[in-house]
Structure 1
Amino acid sequence: MDEPKKQKITDEKVALAKAEHYCAYQERSQQEVRDKLYEWGLWTAAVENIITKLIEGNYLNEERFAKAYALGKFNQKAWGKIKIKQGLQLKRVSPPLIKKALSTIDASDYMVTLTNILEKKAPAIKEITPYKRRYKLQQYAISRGFESELILEVLKDSDL
């Protein structure tokens, strides 16, 4: 059985309306919108034209997207700044905006979150040797995108 062909959009006005809806539903990066427009089968000139109109209509705002992404990943998924930064880089957000977005994360909340994920993970680690146990906890926190020096600080101050 053949998969149905995706409907290509050739009319720029139709594409703009659809893109406005796409951006209104959730904050998007310019790259996400650009990829979606190309997926719809639009030409480069039309894509850039629509992106400009979306920015002018405030449907698309890279700074707003970066802040929403950073806070969302931190609050919902307890990601560290390194992982959030990588995610924003994949979405082709500019370095100054990434820096601005990461600065919206409260430092004390950040430390509380790091401590919480380590405390939640500690009982699941069956390692008895204290050195190996701490190493496993450290690796876990690193995989969540937290900075090594902060992890060591939390591990030093606690009895995990």
Structure 2
Amino acid sequence: MNLQKPYSLDEAQKILENYCAYQERCHKEVTDKLRNMRMIPEAVDTIVVHLIENNYLNEERFAKAFARGKFRIKKWGKNRIIRELKFRQVSKYSIDSALKEIDSDDYSETLHELTQKRIAQVKEKNIYKKKKKVADYLLYRGWESNLVYEKVNELIK
């Protein structure tokens, strides 16, 4: 049986301030955490408003940090970033704003490097199968299909 001590509004607010200060969070993560703490809907709303007013919670800032991080560290394409942000219920405005954080030259360069690296890893003799394997990998990582096929055809001959 799960006996969890009830939190006062102030306690919950402090916990969530620390939670948001530690790393950028989206609204969905914060409301989910409050629900897991068994806070009533009115308390959830009050705390979320407090976090927004005191700049602990900022959806656009979260989206920008998320997009930069996933692109730089995991080398995700824009489609995957958009899909993940939508899953986190981030607004279209914040998503569009986040995608502007990705420099187009860096984007092209990263796709080129990622494609070359994958070509070296795929040990397929049949050129068409090799192209398909490389393209599937890049599409899975969220790169746009027109860019993927253009790059694969350019690098595999």
Contact 1:70 1:101 in 2 (8 A): yes
Q: Which residue of 2 aligns with 1:81?
A: 78
Residue 23 in structure 1 maps to residue 24 in structure 2:
no
Task: Using the TM superposition, name which of 66-75 and 118-127 deviates more.
Answer: 118-127
Shift of 1:28: 0.1
Find the partner of 1:94 among 88, 91, 99.
Answer: 91
Contact 1:9 1:15 in 2 (8 A): no
Provide Cα deviations, 1:35-90, integer angstroms capped at 9, x if missing partner: 00010110000001000000000000000000000001001100111111111011
**Structure-2-length-normalised TM-score:** 0.94
Find the partner of 2:154 among 121, 144, 157.
Answer: 157
Shift of 1:158: 2.4
Residue 108 in structure 1 maps to residue 141 in structure 2:
no
Shift of 1:142: 0.2
Instruction: Give 2:77's aligned amino acid.
Output: G
Question: Aligned partners of 1:15, 1:104: CA distance in 2, in Å?
Answer: 33
Q: Which residue of 2 aligns with 1:45?
A: 42
Contact 1:8 1:41 in 2 (8 A): no
Question: Aligned partners of 1:113, 1:145: CA distance in 2, in Å?
Answer: 13
Structure 2 alignment gaps of length 5 or more:
none
Taking only aligned residues, the RMSD between alpha carbons, in angstroms, comes to 1.4
Question: Aligned partners of 1:88, 1:94: CA distance in 2, in Å?
Answer: 8
Provide Cα deviations, 1:107-151, integer angstroms capped at 9, x if missing partner: 111111111111111122121111211111111100110001111
**Which aligned runs of 4 or more in structure 1 are off by greater than 4 angstroms?**
none
Residue 139 in structure 1 maps to residue 136 in structure 2:
yes
Find the partner of 1:67 among 64, 68, 83.
Answer: 64
Identity of aligned residues (%): 43
What count of residue pairs does the alignment treat as equivalent?
157
Structure 1 alignment gaps of length 5 or more:
none
Question: Aligned partners of 2:56, 2:89: CA distance in 1, in Å?
Answer: 18
